[in-house]
């Protein structure tokens, strides 16, 4: 997701920073960037951040700060009201800033096939049907989420598409199946 961050972003907020892997990688690749984080249970090994706020986003964010980029890596689907969170994000987004997100694709074949063929919707400890997910999105509903909260989506890209095996071959023949092979979408949006 580092590639989705604008080159001129200097102040970045990592929402759901967890153990700090994303922020550390961002700082490693771009030493001029300063990263802040917020997480309900920040990991003890979070290093390389300017500061990590302990609490829920956006409720527990300090006032008076702005960021060039606010990142939601696998976070919005865990929120009861991601629409409210994105609306509130404007309070911390600097003029001309961007919002970056990675969001699982519920239209993936590993969800659709069991649902349609076997009448199964089985939660797991991780992945698209992670039992802690409260919301589910497709590419279209990701775009609607951002549009309905006052953002212009400037980039949506499939993440983790197969390149090998039968699915990789299928992709080389036709891209028509990409919506069913995409595990996640990377999104960049700007405030309207």
Q: In sequence order, which residues have a C-beta less than 8 Å from that of residue 140 and are 6 or more positions away? A: none
Ramachandran area for residue 66 (φ above 0: left; ψ -120 to 50: alpha; else beta): beta
Q: What is the pTM of this model?
A: 0.92
Name the residue with higher pLDDT: 46 or 134. Answer: 134
Q: 124 with 98: CB under 8 angstroms?
A: no
Q: Tell me, what's the pLDDT at 19?
A: 86
CATH number at residue 109: 3.40.50.150
pLDDT tier for residue 92 given thresholds of 50, 70 and 90 = very high
Domains contained in the chain, number: 1
SS3 content of the chain, % helix, strand, coil (to 5): 30, 30, 40
Question: pLDDT tens digits for 35-55?
Answer: 999 999 877 767 789 999 999
Share of the chain above pLDDT 90, in %: 80
Burial of 87 per CB tally in 10 Å (0-12, 13-18, 19+): middle
- Domain of 146? 2-191
Task: Specify the residue for token string 């595990």.
Answer: 183
Among candidates 97, 174, 184, 88, which has minimal Cα distance to 138? 184
Mean pLDDT score across all residues of the chain = 92
Q: Tell me, what's the pLDDT at 169?
A: 64
pLDDT tier for residue 171 given thresholds of 50, 70 and 90 = low
Of 38-42, 55-59, 151-155, 172-176, where does mean pLDDT reach its minimum?
A: 172-176
């Amino acid at each position: 997701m580092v590639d989705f961050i604008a080159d001129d972003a200097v102040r970045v907020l990592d929402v759901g920073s967890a153990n700090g892997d994303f922020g550390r990688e961002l700082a490693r690749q771009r030493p001029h960037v300063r990263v802040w984080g917020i997480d309900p249970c920040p990991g003890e090994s979070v290093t390389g951040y300017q500061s990590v706020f302990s609490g829920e986003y956006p409720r527990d964010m300090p006032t008076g700060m702005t960021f060039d980029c606010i990142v939601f890596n696998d976070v919005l689907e865990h929120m009861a009201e991601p629409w409210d969170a994105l609306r509130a994000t404007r309070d911390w987004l600097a003029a001309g800033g961007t919002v970056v997100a990675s969001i699982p694709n519920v239209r993936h074949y590993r969800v659709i096939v069991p649902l349609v063929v076997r009448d199964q919707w089985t939660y797991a400890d991780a992945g698209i049907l992670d039992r802690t997910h409260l919301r589910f999105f497709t590419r279209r509903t990701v775009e609607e989420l951002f549009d309905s909260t006052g953002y212009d989506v400037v980039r949506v890209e499939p993440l983790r598409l197969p390149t090998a095996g039968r699915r990789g071959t299928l992709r080389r023949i036709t891209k028509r199946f990409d919506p069913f092979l995409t595990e996640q979408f990377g999104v960049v949006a700007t405030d309207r």
